[in-house]
A and B are shown apart, each in its own frame.
Chain A
Amino acid sequence: MTKRTLKQKIPQAALYLWIAFFVASPLVLTFVLSFFSRNARGGFSSDLTLHNVLQLFDATYISILFKSLRLASLTAFLCALFGFPIAYVIATSTPKKKLYYYALLLIPFWTNFIVRTQALRQLFSPAGLDLALSPTVIIQIGMLMNYLPLFVLPCAVAIERLPASVWEAASDLGARRPSIWIKIILPMLKKPLIHGSLMVFVPALGEFVIPDILGGAQGFYLGGLISEQFLKARNWPFGAALSLLLLLSAALIVFLQKNNSPKDIAGEVP
């Protein structure tokens, strides 16, 4: 009896330790660090201050936050726009083709994304596109390219799970294609569409490598700002405060989405 419970307890304890060590403690450290002060040698001292947090409300930083929010939400939107048809084609193709499409989607991950992004830049410059297009547009293209699979994969899985009989039933009951899409299929896919967009939005909010490579001076977003505080300016406390801002913005968006989306239907028994 005791042996058995011990057997169950060990992996459970390992899991909690893992979460405590790799998830909770960095968060706590970041939180604490953002109230510390910077010292003269580029380290930090434990003199508590609100300076870092108050500095966040500076117009410069607020505008960078909004710029990042715009980049992330536009990336999520574009990924949904282009990703949904791709996911639909993949999900509804024959098993053999499906494997092939999934491979096409995943093979880019075998190369480092910095290399991929750099390659995109190489692709643009000889064609003169880097001068013709604004850096913001080029950054957006790079973001779309890198984040698209993050949307397509979960979305394709969700579409695959839609039973074919639902479409057939709607058609058998007299509905035409457009109304089957609008009244049945899209509402049934609402949740995976939102989840897929969040899968893109949250990491895109902190992205700093793609804007840096593709945008040069224009490519300065929240993620870039944070990395600069830690790596160049050596202002760790302010970097921590910015990280906290990033975390809270992402959490707020996820929270808003959760409250706005229809409640889990299963929970709503009168």
Chain B
Amino acid sequence: MSYLEVRDFSKNFGDFSALKEINLSLKEGEFVGLIGPSGCGKTTLLRSLAGLEAPSSGRVLLQGKDITAQKARERPFHMVFQSYALFPHLSVRENIAFPLKVAKWSQLEIETRVAEVLDLVRMKSFESRPISSLSGGQSQRVALARALASKPQVLLLDEPLSALDPQLRDDVRAELKELHQKLKTTFVLVTHDCDEAFDMCSRVFVMNHGKIIQEGEPEEIYKNPKSLFVADFLGELMSLPLNSLSSPAKQLSKLRTLDNEPDAIYFRPEDLSFGGEDLDISPDDIKLSSHICDISFRGSHRRLLLEIPQLNQKVAAFDPHIEETRKLGDPIEIFIDIERAFLAHSERCQ
């Protein structure tokens, strides 16, 4: 049986329907991600789980029990807000103690628990600090500690990394993952950054226009997107029109197709390999000749921008070789991996 379930959940704001018949089911202790472009309804869905938005129709079930009518304060779910929403007039300790005080814990229990969660987020020495003296990363840990203090059954995270410096994000990602493994609480993360969701979540739900359009493990949906929209949202995607390719029909028939009337071939930079050195080129791979029109150094690899003169189009590819052997203007043969590329109709991106 699923732990947390959302059934036929819809939410309208006036004429605008933010969520359309959402169905979602989570297992206990899962770390799931809701991803999608801005305005897709992911935050509304998270807020609905928290009880901050009442549904226009539909139900929310926790362990089979209908909790749709429960208000935010009654639900055993706590949220880490994007802006952290810490109480600026209270100290770190008082912020964390707040949910425990309103739940009428004893003074001794409160003290023990505050120390426990502060330890959990490694903020023990900040206990009596005022909120205004904290940096972004520290505020985030306090917000996390406050949300975890009263042992919620589900922790809701609204874009928790968006307000942090890029260097800090990787650390916090690792810490969130570690925290999840330690606590085994169900985590629901909202983000527009696929990288973040892929890294932390065991399952992701891709949303667009108020609907969940695909769900699954990160690797599975990355490799097998059900629609062009999902493929495009999850990573860099390039296309070449089919009518411009001189490949035989037999070769193209081996490609996956997302719809009935494909008119273009889609692939990612990592699906391209270079002639003359890559050993894993299959005889069926689509061969194109091009020349290098831009090289950008990215640390672990180089990103090449390749111009295909016969199609008058540019594509990007990754060159894992760090030594500078290729130069601008060099001709280069490229192969599109037909195991990974796919066909689709180019106007079906939405």
B51 lies within 8 A of A265 (CB): no
Task: Say yes or no: B102 contacts A172, CB within 8 Å.
Answer: no
Closest CB-CB distance, A180 to chain B, in whole Å?
9
Contact of A170 among B71, B83, B98 (CB under 8 A): B98
Q: Among A170, A175, A184, A265, point to the contact of B130 (Cβ < 8 A).
A: A265
Selected from B78, B83, B129, B131, the residue in CB contact (under 8 A) with A172 is B78
* A188 interface contact, C-beta 8 A: yes
Q: Let me know if A168 and B85 touch, CB within 8 A.
A: yes
Is A95 an interface residue, CB under 8 A from the partner? Answer: no
Contacts A176-B73, A266-B133: A169 and B79 contacting too (C-beta < 8 A)?
yes
In the assembly, what is the distance between CA of A269 and CA of B135, in Å? 13
How far, in angstroms, from A179 to B104 measured CA to CA in the complex? 13
A126 within 8 A of B: no
Given A173-B99, A188-B88, the answer on whether A165 and B81 have CB atoms closer than 8 Å is yes
Given contacts A265-B131, A266-B132, A266-B133, contact A173 B89 (CB under 8 A): no
Q: Are B129 and A173 touching (Cβ within 8 A)?
A: no
Contacts A165-B83, A172-B78, A173-B102 given; does A265 touch B129 at CB 8 Å: no
- Taken residue by residue from 328 to 343, chain B's Cβ proximity to chain A (1 for < 8 Å, 0 otherwise) reads as 0000000000000000
Chain B residues contacting A183 (CB-CB under 8 Å) are: 98
Give the shortest distance, in Å, between A161 (CB) and chain B (any CB): 11
Within 8 A of B (CB), among A154-187: 163, 165-166, 168-176, 179, 183-184, 187
A257 to chain B, nearest CB (A): 17
Residue of B nearest to A166 (CB): B85
Q: Is B257 located at the chain interface by the 8 A CB criterion?
A: no
Contacts of A47 in B (CB 8 A): none
Task: Tell me what chain B mostly uses at the interface: helix, strand, loop, or mixed.
Answer: loop
Q: Which residues of B contact A266 (CB under 8 A)?
A: 130, 132-133
In whole angstroms, how far apart are the Cα atoms of A174 and B131 in the complex? Answer: 21
Distance (Å) between the CB of B256 and the closest chain A CB? 44
Q: B72 touching A171 by the CB < 8 A rule?
A: yes
| Residues A166 and B132 in contact in the complex (CB < 8 Å), given A172-B72, A172-B78, A174-B102 | no
Question: Is there a chain B Cβ closer than 8 Å to A270's Cβ?
Answer: yes
Contact present for A187 and B52 (CB under 8 Å): no
Which bracket fits the contact residues of A?
Answer: 20 to 34
Q: Mark B80-94, 1 if CB is under 8 A from A, else 0.
A: 011101111100000
Which residues of A in the span 24-77 have a Cβ within 8 Å of any Cβ on B? none
B residues 20-65 touching A (CB-CB < 8 Å): 50-52
With CB as the reference atom, state the residue of chain B lying closest to A176: B73
Q: B153 contacts the other chain (Cβ, under 8 Å)? A: no
B146 adjacent to chain A (CB < 8 Å)? yes
Given the contacts A172-B50, A173-B98, A188-B88, A270 and B128 also touching, CB distance less than 8 Å: yes
Q: Mark A253-270, 1 if CB is under 8 A from B, else 0.
A: 000000000100110111
Chain A stretch 230-270: residues in CB contact (< 8 A) with chain B: 262, 265-266, 268-270
Partner of A269 from the list B86, B98, B102, B129 (CB cut-off 8 Å) is B129
Tell me whether B249 is interfacial, beta carbon within 8 Å: no
In the bound assembly, the distance between CA atoms of A269 and B51 in angstroms comes to 36
A184 x B79 contact (CB < 8 A):
no
B109 CB to closest chain A CB (Å) equals: 15
For the complex, is B150 an interface residue (Cβ under 8 Å from A)? yes
B110 → A minimal CB distance (Å): 13
CB contact under 8 A between A265 and B89, given known A165-B83, A168-B81: yes
A168 B128 Cβ-Cβ under 8 A: no
CB proximity to A under 8 Å, residues B112-168? 128-133, 146-147, 150
Whether the pair B103, A174 counts as a contact (CB closer than 8 A) is: yes
Q: Is the CB of B81 within 8 A of A169?
A: yes
Q: Which residues of B contact A188 (CB under 8 A)?
A: 87-89
A171–B73 CB distance below 8 A: yes
For B87, the chain A residues whose CB sits under 8 A away are: 166, 169-170, 184, 188
B88 adjacent to A168 (CB under 8 Å): no
CB distance B73 to A173 under 8 Å? yes
Q: How far is the CA of A94 from the CA of B48 in the complex (A)?
A: 22
Chain A residues, Cβ within 8 Å of B78: 172-173
CA A30 to CA B77, docked complex, whole Å: 65
Bound together, the chains give a CA A104 to CA B324 distance in angstroms of 71
A173, A176, A265: the one within 8 Å of B88 (CB): A265
Residues in B neighbouring A171, C-beta threshold 8 A? 52, 71-73
| Complex A-B: 17 CB contacts under 8 Å | A166-B87, A168-B72, A168-B81, A169-B81, A169-B85, A170-B87, A171-B73, A172-B52, A172-B73, A172-B77, A173-B98, A175-B73, A175-B98, A176-B102, A262-B89, A266-B133, A269-B133
Which residues of B line the A interface, CB within 8 A? 50-52, 71-74, 77-79, 81-83, 85-89, 98-99, 102-103, 128-133, 146-147, 150
Besides the known contacts A173-B102, A265-B131, 4 further A-B residue pairs in the complex with CB atoms under 8 A apart: A170-B87, A265-B89, A266-B132, A269-B130
Residues in A lying within 8 Å of B, measured CB to CB: 163, 165-166, 168-176, 179, 183-184, 187-188, 190, 262, 265-266, 268-270
Top 8 A-B pairs ranked by shortest CB distance? A169-B85, A173-B99, A165-B85, A265-B130, A266-B132, A175-B102, A269-B133, A172-B72
